[in-house]
Structure 1
């Protein structure tokens, strides 16, 4: 009888793309026949299982063949057993009932004389481990950690992590044995133990603080970059829990930062400094110098990581980061928007009373040259840095109001609501700048281009809302020569393009100005006698 091989199956699928379902159904029927084979060597069944594994990876459910896969897993021949374990790894899950039948088979294969058979069983357990399997096999795996073959020891160490996830009660009794592997004579086994403990420590670093001396020894004696990365990560998680550890790490990490050519290891060392060693200024300054090289590198990934790490230092040492202000602001011109956003995030921590206006000027230039969401983020950032801590960095509020008005006039800026709140907040709060602010709002109300912009961008209407409300609220600050023009602007037919809630504020403000101008005069207010006021304005006020 001729059976199709996996290669035949793949070729058939490629040549039957338009009727794949029909072809797969035919193949499954053939596979079912093969699984009934009486061949004692299990060659036919193994061939069927490998085809099932491929179909499983294509999305076809093969749970119906689980028992046959277990049969192939129990084959005496290594080649057939390997395919059986492959099929189980691909298709078994927590709901597979026959998994319970595998317990004794795992125990048997764990005792096999061939390390490769033991390795197959360990690999499969890592893929299909359930709570029951973890509970029943943890003792056997712990025994394998004592194997005289490093190939088996390192696999046993790694699978312990999966066992801990499925059966947490196994962690406490088996941890001493795992700890021993940190001092194993085989480097790869030590690396595996470090990896497992690092993953465990991500959830609760406090439990592994007692291992700090061992990891410190490994840090100073190993040359394996992969292991060093894991060790540095773990020590970085432990530093905030034990301040004395940070002091101890200054010398080895300084040497590491100065000597390693591996960018990945260098970044992890710097990250550890940023999260747990910030009180040590010398290594912080060294780290910032290295991050400067990252940001100036042509590799966009390194540039991004450099800015990201600077953000960690910004929380504690903003002045040290601010020393690189020019370089960071230069990143706002980068083609990669993610890098531009990272640079923009750093701006907040660099602002002082002395440099606020310079930084805002640079950001304003980018607002005019940018587009889309980044332009909106720039506007929000200008407002954020200026209004931070109750406008602590603003020394000239006339400048700030002028800046807000310039932003409001930039076409395509959709930050109207934010600008509205800022204009109202500043002019209401700061009495000394109120008259200047009202004059600026008058200019906005009379700006025909702003009205036209509102029809294209509804957000701009919120700025008009603020301008109208402020002019009405502080109408006593209006110059007499401008009252008539303001009334005309508030009651012009052009304002009909504005949203209703904005039109309502326009009308209320017009009434406030009218009442303010009428105080102390005859019922027929002088304002209405002014020839410069349009008939349309007079009609609206009369109706009101």
Structure 2
């Protein structure tokens, strides 16, 4: 018997391990499918062996092949066998394979309930942690229901490692089995004040994710989160908490007024750009929700705008975009605070990133006044002359017309100037669609403003003469119809 065992072990020495499989695939690039098919047959033979080490080796190779896109659903029973091994090294291989290949609707998952429960209650914390990590990837409704109490018990473990994993795992349980949330809520709330920062962060993460669906249910936790916000130095956790407060503030206006001071302190003190952005975002949301108290918070608005300027001036394109995005939110409620920074926004029109240029264009629409309209349009026209790409040029033209025509031309004090702008735009290279836009503006201005009609007729005559001496572009051809109408109606 011993001789037979030795012989079996000797034969197993020549089995391919995972490194051999990877090396073989690399060496058979021209014949990869055939080589892998051969390996699959060898693996199936290995899985029929009684030796758990051989099975674990086979499952490790299957896991790699699954990552390459091969179906290994046929081996679910063999994977469960390896998962149930008493040896941690093999158990880990089994759970890894299960986390990648098992699905919540796998029929054989019911076979794992007692095995996973045993692992969750293991003396070795790493075995329990392994079970929690694997289970999070394939938990089903039935597993969540049957194992909820075991996971909940681990939330009170003496080991922070297990408490943290159990808290995070409960979120997956709630998704599959919502009935577990009510009995687990007191413990979850308790973990928000856990002495271990990792457990505390995990609890904050779970509550914040839950609150995204229904913030109202977590309004009672505001005092706990307020305490965490004013005492924690963990930037990641602060970002989560501040986002949560942004969702809670519309539900409780009194909360918003209390948040202004600590958020302002964080804006002053933090050097982390991600945290700074979230603080500014939440301050804006708070000020919008407590609109009646806005006049008393002018200093907070100015601080946010000044800090956003730092983001927009940063070389990081993502920060620049986020800064412009937040600035547009402030613009809606405090236009004067933002208008003072129009030069910065205009400078963004030279950015190499088109999304930043378009975001800056959107901001300019709300920054226009009677005093600065001509200046802004002049700079936009200069940008249009040197802009590359028809799409961006067309966008510039559309924005210029929108800026001038907004609210029935409330910012246009000189309509002769505006007609001149329309005539100049006609000469620029744009599409026929925007030729129609210019034409409609010429007709509308002529119909609305009697004092500009004669001047408009002279400008239209120039457009017609220019078209007669050369081949008109797509935009000019569209404008010619409007120019002819203006000439016929308003020439004396």
Q: TM-score, normalised by structure 2?
A: 0.92
Once residues 56 and 70 of structure 1 are traced to their aligned partners in structure 2, the CA distance between those partners, rounded to angstroms, is 16
Q: Which residue of 2 aligns with 1:517?
A: none
Whether the aligned pair in 2 keeps the contact of 1:445 and 1:464 (CA below 8 Å) is: yes
Per the TM alignment, residue 440 of structure 1 is displaced from its structure 2 partner at its CA by: 2.1
Once residues 172 and 418 of structure 1 are traced to their aligned partners in structure 2, the CA distance between those partners, rounded to angstroms, is 59
Find out whether 1:384 has 2:385 as its counterpart.
Answer: no
Where 2:429 maps in the other structure, the secondary structure is: coil
Measured against aligned partners, the alpha-carbon deviations of 1:189-242 in whole angstroms (never above 9, x if no partner) come to: 010000111111122222211111110000111111111111111112212222
Alignment of 1:123-142 (within 5 A): 123-142=133-152
- Computing the radius of gyration over CA atoms, which structure comes out larger, 1 or 2? 1
Find out whether 1:436 has 2:455 as its counterpart.
Answer: yes
Per the TM alignment, residue 141 of structure 1 is displaced from its structure 2 partner at its CA by: 1.4
Find out whether 1:396 has 2:414 as its counterpart.
Answer: yes
Once residues 403 and 362 of structure 1 are traced to their aligned partners in structure 2, the CA distance between those partners, rounded to angstroms, is 12
Measured against aligned partners, the alpha-carbon deviations of 1:368-423 in whole angstroms (never above 9, x if no partner) come to: 11021221111111011111111111111111111111111102455222222222
Measured against aligned partners, the alpha-carbon deviations of 1:80-133 in whole angstroms (never above 9, x if no partner) come to: 000000000011113322122112211111111111011011101111112222
Once residues 443 and 24 of structure 2 are traced to their aligned partners in structure 1, the CA distance between those partners, rounded to angstroms, is 72
Measured against aligned partners, the alpha-carbon deviations of 1:35-80 in whole angstroms (never above 9, x if no partner) come to: 11111xx111111111111111111111111111111111111000
The structure 1 residue matched to 2:251, chosen from 237, 241, 247, is 241
Alignment of 1:265-280 (within 5 A): 265-278=275-288, 279=294, 280=297
Per the TM alignment, residue 471 of structure 1 is displaced from its structure 2 partner at its CA by: 3.5
Aligned residues: 471
What's the Cα RMSD here?
Answer: 1.7
Per the TM alignment, residue 160 of structure 1 is displaced from its structure 2 partner at its CA by: 1.4
The structure 1 residue matched to 2:393, chosen from 366, 369, 375, is 375
Once residues 75 and 470 of structure 1 are traced to their aligned partners in structure 2, the CA distance between those partners, rounded to angstroms, is 89
Per the TM alignment, residue 138 of structure 1 is displaced from its structure 2 partner at its CA by: 1.6
Alignment of 1:113-152 (within 5 A): 113-152=123-162
Where 2:105 maps in the other structure, the secondary structure is: coil
Q: Which residue of 2 aligns with 1:298?
A: 315
Find out whether 1:422 has 2:432 as its counterpart.
Answer: no
Whether the aligned pair in 2 keeps the contact of 1:6 and 1:51 (CA below 8 Å) is: yes
Q: TM-score, normalised by structure 1?
A: 0.83
Find out whether 1:465 has 2:464 as its counterpart.
Answer: no
Deviates more, 1:382-391 or 1:100-109: 100-109
Whether the aligned pair in 2 keeps the contact of 1:407 and 1:413 (CA below 8 Å) is: no
User: CA 1:423–1:100 in structure 2 vs 1: closer, same or farther (change >3 Å)?
Assistant: farther
Measured against aligned partners, the alpha-carbon deviations of 1:313-364 in whole angstroms (never above 9, x if no partner) come to: 1121111011111111111112222222221111011101111111111111
Q: Which residue of 2 aligns with 1:411?
A: 429
The structure 1 residue matched to 2:305, chosen from 288, 310, 321, is 288
Whether the aligned pair in 2 keeps the contact of 1:353 and 1:393 (CA below 8 Å) is: yes
Alignment of 1:206-355 (within 5 A): 206-278=216-288, 279=294, 280-355=297-372
Find out whether 1:56 has 2:72 as its counterpart.
Answer: no
User: CA 1:408–1:45 in structure 2 vs 1: closer, same or farther (change >3 Å)?
Assistant: same
Where 1:277 maps in the other structure, the secondary structure is: helix
Once residues 269 and 13 of structure 1 are traced to their aligned partners in structure 2, the CA distance between those partners, rounded to angstroms, is 51
Unpaired stretches in structure 1, ≥5 consecutive residues: 480-544
